[in-house]
Structure 1
Amino acid sequence: MKKIIFKNLIFLGALLCFGLTRAQTVTGNVSDGSGPLAGANVLVKGTTDGTQTDFDGNYTLTNVDDNATLVFSYIGFETLEIPVDGQSEISVELGENASELDEVVLIGYGSQRKSDLTGAVGQVSEDELQERSVQSLNQGLAGRVAGVQVNTTSGRPGGKTNVRIRGFSSINSSNNPLYVVDGVQLPQGNLDQYSSAIDFLNPNDVVSIEVLKDASSTAIYGARGANGVILVTTKRGQAGEGRVSYS
């Protein structure tokens, strides 16, 4: 009888220790080397439990497992994973993600780093275009950029597609966006029932597409950019050995 009671006490003690291990609280601070990061994400890896840092970069997480791993992330900075290992205080310093901050986006009057971009500009890369088997460039935009609608008016191969950026802006006038290919504006009058101004361009020859949606981005094009502007950058010759690709 005494042995049974003793075993039960050991079992209850083990459960108590296990519960205490899982119920620990972790606090700390997140900074970038020059100061605290407010609004940084702190998540328990593999779960939906997490929090954000306050104005001073401090955070508090409760009920953290001793074997858990904390994931620290912030826009423009590298993600960092730190195992808890019984620590009650974990402070980290995040480094900048240079590749993300230095990514260049074309705008109406030049190019700008993605981190400095303030206008409403959507971007579709070459890799995203290659993911789909599309017959026209307009079809490659479908579902890729927020606020852009692509409708096919004909079931025939290579049929015309209508693109609308942020809906209709006029009842009587044209609602087609302005296309600019490698800095050259395509005539908006080059449209008919069966094709559009951009249908002649092979999607496989395109490097990137930028969609300018707001007034600050399209201002340089004046009234012609009232329905939005689609900037298309095509492939160019490069130095080095030749390459052959097929699909």
Structure 2
Amino acid sequence: MLPVPRKGPAMTHAITLIPLASIDDHALTRDRPEPDPGELRQLRHAIFTGGLRQPIEVFALAEGGSHAYGLLAGYRRITACRELLAEGRTGTDRIAAFVRTPRDAAEGYRAMIEENEIRARPTPWERAMIAVEAHCQNLFASIDEAVTGLCKDASPTRRSRIRAVARVIEHPGEVLHHGRALSLTRCLRIAARCAKGFAGVMYAAPQTLARRNAGREREALRPCVVAAEALLRDRPTPPSPTPAARAASPTSSPTWCCAANAALTGPA
């Protein structure tokens, strides 16, 4: 039995078979990490043996581009189908899809978030990343508005936490390579220090790591957060930049940390 389309933006009730090559999986920034290889392998086997039980959801892209459709929901499903096609499985070059017509990109993001809420509740970090991305694309005037618009179903407390995490993401840019591995408590501590101008102190150590993984980055960040909290207790103004931060940014103004962080967005 085919699934009943859920309520949301206008959508054709007919299922369309669409070539995989005509779908842009990343037309919208995804709010979930890459699928777990083990889970993806199981899904690939299930699709190969029993077929795709739930169509993906797509929306039409502007004419003239390299793809006709953008993916709204079903990233794991389309990834599994692409892998089956790469293995040479016959009949896997097209995928069943509902074609949706969101009023705008913001509604498209909301639809994607709703899909993931049904499957697995996104973490505050994942939701905050989407809010920051939506703001960067000028879909919302501010990150606060993006959080409000994209997380209407969240409680006021949860929205407040998402805003705090968004400040962590926004302030250092991509200096944190493994932000998803941070606990909510640590994100909130970092956000509180960022709001007081201590981002440079906290991010000095992670910036100097030659090899990065989630554990090393987390451990390098831990003493920096503690030091920033101690400095905040002892002095009302942000500390002077560290030597490493001075080398990354010549300015000594209170905004030096933003410039230093922006200069360190390349791969470590």
Output the TM-score relative to the length of structure 1.
0.24
More strand by share: 1
More helix by share: 2
Output the TM-score relative to the length of structure 2.
0.23
